[in-house]
């Protein structure tokens, strides 16, 4: 009986610890929140204490291969390799404090990223308070 109780407790502890072992780093397919179709492959990586994301592959051909609507250092830069997530920090179980770029509009938004499950991210871009914004879901590449 003790072995069964101990095994049950151990299983709960391992499962609980697994929730914190999830990593934001890696390759993710972003799903367009308007069409439901995959748009691009984004790589999230860590530099120092911050997380960044760049476009590795375009799954839908854009009208222009450069970020023509960008207004900062990314203006007219190629979309492939473009850094679209900047300066995100890990706080608790989410990435926050940074910005996300919508290359099609050339606009940057505040951003939070959290896990929906181990293979799916909820990416929220917003203006001001997080009530005014939109969500995208990114799926882990296998």
Percent of the chain with pLDDT over 70: 85
Domain residues for the domain of 47 are 24-140
- Where does the pLDDT of residue 21 fall: very low under 50, low under 70, confident under 90, or very high at 90 and above? low
Residue 71 in any domain: the answer is yes
Residue 104 in any domain: the answer is yes
The answer to whether residues 2 and 14 touch, using CB atoms and an 8 Å cutoff, is no
Per-residue model confidence (pLDDT) at position 131: 76
What distance in Å separates the CA atoms of residue 82 and residue 71, rounded to the nearest whole number?
14
Count of structural domains within the chain: 1
CATH of the domain at 34: 2.40.128.520
Question: Which of residues 3 and 124 earns the better pLDDT score?
Answer: 124
What is the pTM (predicted TM-score) of this model?
Answer: 0.82
Where does the chain show beta strands of DSSP type E? 26-31, 38-47, 50-58, 83-91, 94-102, 107-117, 120-126, 133-140
Encode pLDDT of 93-119 as tens digits. 999 999 999 999 999 999 999 999 999
| pLDDT, average across residues 64-77 | 96
| pLDDT, average across residues 5-23 | 47
Per-residue model confidence (pLDDT) at position 4: 53
């Amino acid at each position: 009986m003790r072995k069964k109780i101990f095994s049950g407790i151990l299983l709960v502890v391992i499962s609980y610890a697994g929730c914190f072992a999830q990593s934001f780093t890696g390759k993710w397919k972003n799903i367009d929140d308007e069409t439901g179709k995959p748009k691009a492959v984004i790589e999230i990586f860590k530099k120092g204490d911050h997380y960044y994301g760049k476009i590795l592959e375009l799954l839908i051909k854009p009208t222009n291969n450069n970020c023509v609507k960008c207004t900062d250092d990314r203006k007219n830069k190629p979309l492939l390799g473009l850094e679209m997530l900047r300066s995100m920090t890990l706080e608790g179980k989410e990435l926050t404090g940074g910005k996300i770029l919508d290359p099609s509009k050339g606009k940057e938004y505040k951003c939070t990223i959290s896990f929906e499950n181990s293979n799916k991210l909820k990416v929220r871009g917003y203006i001001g308070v997080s009530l005014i914004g939109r969500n995208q879901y990114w799926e882990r590449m296998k």
